[in-house]
Amino acid sequence: MSEFPPGELAIGLMSGTSLDGVDGVLARFDAGGRAEVLAHVALPMPDALRAELLALNRPGGENELHRAALASNALADLYAEAVAALPRGAKVVGAHGQTVRHRPELGYTLQLLNGARLAERCGLDVVADLRSRDVAAGGQGAPLVPAFHRAQFGRAGADVAVLNLGGMANLSLLPSKGVTRGFDTGPGNVLLDLWYQRCQGASYDAGGAWAAQGQMLPDLLDRLLSEPWLALPPPKSTGRDLFDAPWLEARLRRGLSAVDVQATLSEFSARTVAEALIAHMPAASELIVCGGGAYNSDLLRRLERLLPACTLLSSDVRGLPPLQVEAAAFAWLAQRFVQALPGNLPEVTGAAGLRRLGALYPA
């Protein structure tokens, strides 16, 4: 991929499937596209907006178009708060938006965000809707981060994998020789958070402490692992359109211990990641973990047990804290757009070719 202008600054904004908040970074890129994060801000997702975005993830409901427009406005305002909290100096903002539908097999993906409102509020060029062009070219529109992961974490002479443990989990495979690959592996935190909220009334199981108290249920694990999507070959991506509360409820049985279900969901997330890595890059010497799940000690212990020949590292050890990686990736994608460079990798998404990603809302 072509060189970046040295020293250019960009802002990246990310709100992921977990819906816990917005991460924003001000990043500087070297000529090879490696990011140096100069500042980071994290804003919590307001409860009302989180509830509305979750509701809009499900089909049905009254006056959905009106509600989606208002949610897009509210998210733009929250993003603008994040931009205002960062130092000045950037000329462009790469903004992910909030995914409420992801159906690339039907030719669309939908991330809510009023990009025009965000540009008006922050006075900067905004590059948004970063997935749709790849989908229009026959791709999955996800994951988009493997090219950035290559620039940030790739190492000569080493087969390295990067695991983003957000609501969904995705792998980037960075072999010492050969092409970069990447794909979603299935749920990361989404089912863990859903079950914990239902049973414990809090937003997430900090450190996986509750899951660590339970016993894995083999029969339930088998039912979870029988999901046909898991057996599909890459390129592939997924989201709440598949892995949601009804999906989980259809696989539960009466009388199961709640804490044992949580332990089994943790094992399920770990097992799907480990099996995908072993199948597609068995010689990986290092697995760099980022995203909120990088702080789930129980989940990481399960991964270490399943991947004894692979060293697990926090992305922090490689120079970028776990909660900054995805936001930095969208700053990187915005810079690619500004330079009229492609942002996707067809070998990752399955698109017909390299494409410039995003739609510009000028300041």
Q: What is the CATH number of the domain that holds 120?
A: 3.30.420.40
How far apart CA 38 and CA 116 sit, in angstroms, is 26
Asked whether residue 63 falls in the same domain as residue 109, the answer is yes
Q: Does position 16 have pLDDT exceeding 90, yes or no?
A: no
How far apart CA 271 and CA 342 sit, in angstroms, is 33
DSSP state of 254: T
Q: Does position 340 have pLDDT exceeding 80, yes or no?
A: yes
Q: Tell me what the pLDDT averaged over the chain comes to.
A: 95
How far apart CA 131 and CA 104 sit, in angstroms, is 10
Per-residue pLDDT tens over the stretch 39-55? 999 999 999 999 999 99
Angle between helices 218-225 and 258-280 (to 10 degrees): 50
Asked whether residue 36 falls in the same domain as residue 125, the answer is yes
- Per the structure, the complete domain to which residue 327 belongs is given by 9-142+323-361
Is the residue at 2 inside a domain? no
Structure tokens at 50: 């989180």
- 113: confidence class by pLDDT, cuts 50, 70, 90: very high
Is the residue at 308 inside a domain? yes
How far apart CA 153 and CA 161 sit, in angstroms, is 9
Spacing of C-alpha 353 from chain mean position: 22
Question: Strands (DSSP E) along the chain, which ranges?
Answer: 9-14, 21-29, 35-44, 92-95, 98-103, 108-112, 125-128, 160-165, 168-174, 181-187, 286-290, 311-314, 359-361
Is the residue at 15 inside a domain? yes
Is the residue at 339 inside a domain? yes
Is the residue at 341 inside a domain? yes
What is the arithmetic mean of pLDDT over 301-306? 98
What is the arithmetic mean of pLDDT over 12-38? 93
DSSP state of 316: G
How far apart CA 224 and CA 226 sit, in angstroms, is 5
Structure tokens at 352: 């017909």
Asked whether residue 58 falls in the same domain as residue 123, the answer is yes
Cβ within 8 Å of residue 166, ≥6 positions away: 16, 17, 18, 188, 189, 291, 292, 293, 326
How far apart CA 64 and CA 217 sit, in angstroms, is 39
Asked whether residue 244 falls in the same domain as residue 328, the answer is no
pLDDT at 2 (0 to 100)? 44
Asked whether residue 288 falls in the same domain as residue 357, the answer is no
Asked whether residue 126 falls in the same domain as residue 47, the answer is yes
Is the residue at 4 inside a domain? no
pLDDT at 3 (0 to 100)? 55
Largest CA distance in the chain: 60
Q: Cis peptide before 235, with omega less than 30 degrees from 0?
A: yes
Asked whether residue 161 falls in the same domain as residue 99, the answer is no
What is the arithmetic mean of pLDDT over 188-204? 96
